[in-house]
């Protein structure tokens, strides 16, 4: 039997951002991310085997995020906090709902206002 994840293990507070259609002011709409709450999480790096399996499936897996089983996090959401942004690729819950696992990819920020040119 799988043990329930302990609250003491969830050491990061992350904002949940969801993709939502919002009016563009001209009769149409635009897809944008809007904040949809906060969750406590444990962020860790996947094992080499987990990365290999993801790569074979055509996905990039940079981190694994564990959450409480009732966290409202879904594929396509973003988790943001402490300068990191994670794109959620999949969410998995074991048959006994003791935790929620999100396989994510860390999105590296671009430099604001700088154009990087190659020499």
φ/ψ of residue 8, rounded to 5: -65, -20
pTM: 0.80
Strand partners, 69: none
Confidence at residue 59, expressed as pLDDT on a 0 to 100 scale:
82
Q: Which CATH number fits domain 7-20+29-106: 2.40.10.270, 3.90.850.10, 3.40.640.10, 1.10.3720.10?
A: 2.40.10.270
Token couple for 82:
């402490």
Residue extents of the structural domains in the chain:
7-20+29-106
Dihedral of alpha carbons 78, 81, 85, 88, sign:
negative
Confidence at residue 108, expressed as pLDDT on a 0 to 100 scale:
81
Question: What is the percent of the chain where pLDDT is above 70?
Answer: 88
Over range 22-32, report the average pLDDT: 89
Instruction: Express each pLDDT in 35-89 by its tens digit.
Output: 999 999 999 998 899 888 888 888 888 999 999 999 999 999 999 999 899 999 9
Between residues 37 and 118, the one the model is more confident about: 37
Runs of H (alpha helix) within 1-119: 48-56
């Amino acid at each position: 039997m799988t043990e329930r994840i302990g609250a003491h293990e969830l050491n990061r507070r992350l904002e949940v951002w969801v993709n939502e259609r919002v009016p563009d002011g001209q009769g149409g709409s635009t897809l944008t991310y809007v904040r949809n709450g906060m969750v406590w999480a444990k962020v860790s790096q996947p094992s080499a085997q987990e990365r290999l399996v993801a790569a074979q499936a055509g996905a990039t897996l940079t981190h694994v995020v564990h959450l409480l089983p009732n966290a409202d996090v879904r594929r396509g959401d973003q988790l943001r906090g402490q300068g990191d942004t994670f794109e959620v690729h999949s969410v998995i819950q074991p048959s006994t709902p003791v935790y929620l696992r999100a396989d994510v990819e860390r999105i590296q920020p671009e430099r604001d206002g700088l154009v990087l040119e190659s020499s």
